[in-house]
Structure 1
């Protein structure tokens, strides 16, 4: 069984998130998703997510393509998460291209093209400033 792992905040889930998760699942038999904790998101993006950690976990775990989910507490632990979940393939969006190649000693790494013209940050800005 090929185990695929991916990571993300998954705040304000949109079609881009669904596309990448479905494509990640199609590359293996079992999809594991690390959802960034609220604290990690604050550290990465300087803001808390719109949806709480527990809500984001519930939303992502409800998707048919997701087999397992866990909270990602630290970017520095990605290698440990890969080992802990016995992943064969790490999948990330191509906006991260090359940034996770150091994990190729632990598993295969593949970057998927993002869905064009959609981002959580842009959605949040439109909602905050509708004009």
Structure 2
């Protein structure tokens, strides 16, 4: 039986326990885990904001997470193109994509090349978006104060 290569992409900005849980679950479902780290320009294009932590630092943090075997920097938005550049067998995503148009399209496209899409629970109580909002509020209050 051959080694199962998993791929878990993310911004991994403002690293928190939800990120750690995704990587832990991903590693438990494959033999070799590649963590995709989306570059700063791609994040700005996809989310409309630059990450707080720059790419080099985010990649360094992820590289040192025990569950991660390899880091791959994503420089373009098409996950199938990512697969062509760094092949994998299983693609891991948060379940906030499950059943959505984007998620269904991703599943359809990956099925054509034999990649399975596996969803993990999204950590609702802690997210980078929430942390960013808290930081923004704190900065605004200090500026006013």
> In which range does the TM-score fall when normalised by the shorter chain?
over 0.9
Runs of 4 or more above 6 Å deviation: none
Question: Does 2:90 match 1:83?
Answer: no
2:124 is aligned, of 113, 116, 130, to: 116
Q: Give RMSD over aligned pairs.
A: 1.3
Q: Please state whether the residue corresponding to 2:130 is helix, strand or coil.
A: helix
Aligned positions of 1:1-131 closer than 5 A: 1-76=3-78, 78-98=79-99, 99=103, 100-101=106-107, 102-106=109-113, 107-130=115-138
Q: Please state whether the residue corresponding to 1:129 is helix, strand or coil.
A: helix
Distance 1:24 1:16 in 2: 12
Greater Cα shift, 34-43 or 102-111 = 102-111
Unaligned runs of 5+ in 1: none
Q: What is the TM-score of this pair, normalised by structure 2?
A: 0.84
Greater Cα shift, 114-123 or 14-23 = 114-123
Q: What is the TM-score of this pair, normalised by structure 1?
A: 0.93
Q: Please state whether the residue corresponding to 2:84 is helix, strand or coil.
A: helix
Distance 2:87 2:42 in 1: 23
Query: How many pairs align?
Result: 130
